Structure 1
Amino acid sequence: MEWITTTDIHILFGLHYLAGPHMDMFMTWFTTMINTIWLWAILAAAGLWKRRSRWVTLTIIVAVILAILVGDVAIKHFVMRIRPYLVIPGAPTLDTLKYPISYSFPSGHSFFFFAGATVLFRSCRRLGIAAYGLACVVAFSRMYLFMHFPSDVLTGAVLGIIIGNIAWQICGYAKKRLSH
């Protein structure tokens, strides 16, 4: 486990060579936006409102709920990995952000966004590719801000893809059963 942590720390500081006032400002804005619950509530309501996107939206909601249960409720409290900004001496943080104190492994944001992107990809490849791009920016932001180790983010992304596919299967089965 120590070699993973050592590699993670080298990667984090390597990514931080990109730091500067403009990047810090973007990361503050971006993190604030992806953590704005009303934005996601409006997007979910809009997706549920339109008949064409209703099942995909419900599937994304199922995927995110599964990701929360698996990642935030189960794995984080089993592994109990402390966040990098709390354990790495001299870890750079931004005063403009409120840093979470929950456990680090796996990255919940990476988990949620990759789960949702997977559902979108299964529904519409072009939209899914854009969603995967957004998920990659989210994953990068978690490392840039020293909120997660790279292994937290990678695990969250892989689990998100798995859970997104599971949600797609569950909701596809439910849709078939309800249409009969």
Structure 2
Amino acid sequence: MTGTVLALDGSRLDGSLYLDVTDLAHRAPAAVDDAVAAWSAYGLVVFAALMLAAWWRARRGPAPTMAVALTAPLIVVTAFAADSVLKSVLREPRPCQVLPAGATLEACPAAGDWSLPSNHTVIAFAATAVLWRCDRRLGAVAAVAAAAMGLSRVFVGVHYPHDVVAGAVVGLALGLLLARAAHQAGPAVTALRSGRLRNLVGT
């Protein structure tokens, strides 16, 4: 980390809690570690599936809801991009780079792959915000999955707890804001429902 001016020393906030969680991971059964690591690495696919389900269900719903469902992937990508910029500004090193956590379940990212906020958590909670606007049941499922994603990122050793909390706040804030804007595009969907794309946006 030589030559890097840190905006935040995350270890002073909750480094001890991070070490407690990674110690728990070291003592957990291998099956638990494998399941959490798999979810941490591949769980975002679930949110893609939920967004697809939201689009399918929105075909029978109001036009503004379909507008949100259609823009869900773009909203999530926008939240990810904004988070990437924020990470480059805050420049917080990963906890596994600065704390004696031992071997972590997920390989510690290289220096320069910043920690705050957690990208995975931002994506998960941005998707949750959009899904909640589309369909409350899907949103509730996504909320549980998003919380599990955030917790898993600490468990596998690549994020501090505050990285995850910040990721949840950023993801929800951007997701709700952008979903609200997308909701205003209902008239455009109404127009599409009477055109060649009617099978994409309606029944």
TM-score by length of 1: 0.81
2:38 aligns to what? Answer: 29
Q: SS at the partner of 2:184? A: helix
Matched residue type, 1:134:
A
1:16 aligns to what? Answer: 22
1:5 aligns to what? Answer: 11
* Cα shift at 1:179: 3.4
d(CA) in 1 for partners of 2:50 and 2:139?
A: 16
Residues 28 and 154 of structure 1, relative CA distance in 2, 3 Å threshold: same
Correspondence 1:70 to 2:76? no
Residues 40 and 98 of structure 1, relative CA distance in 2, 3 Å threshold: farther
Q: Which runs of 5+ in 2 are unaligned?
A: 1-7, 192-203
Aligned partners of 2:130 and 2:175 also within 8 Å: yes
What percent identity do the matched residue pairs reach?
A: 29
Residues 139 and 22 of structure 1, relative CA distance in 2, 3 Å threshold: same
1:142 aligns to what? Answer: 153
d(CA) in 1 for partners of 2:83 and 2:47?
A: 19
Matching of residues 26-175 of structure 1 within 5 Å: 26-34=35-43, 51-52=59-60, 55-72=67-84, 74-94=85-105, 97-101=106-110, 102-175=113-186
Q: After superposing the two structures, state which structure 1 stretch, 132-141 or 50-59, moved more.
A: 50-59
TM-score by length of 2: 0.73
Report Cα offsets for 1:116-135 as digits up to 9, x if no partner.
Answer: 11111122222211100000
Matched residue type, 1:118:
A
Matched residue type, 1:66:
T
Aligned partners of 1:85 and 1:147 also within 8 Å: yes
Task: Number of aligned residue pairs: give it.
Answer: 174
d(CA) in 2 for partners of 1:41 and 1:117?
A: 11
Q: Which structure's CA Rg is the greater one?
A: 2
Q: Which has the higher helix share?
A: 1
Q: After superposing the two structures, state which structure 1 stretch, 148-157 or 14-23, moved more.
A: 14-23
Greater RCO between the two (CA within 8 Å, min separation 6)?
Answer: 2
Aligned-residue RMSD, C-alpha: 2.6
Report Cα offsets for 1:4-41 as digits up to 9, x if no partner.
Answer: 533421111222343221221112221232366xx777
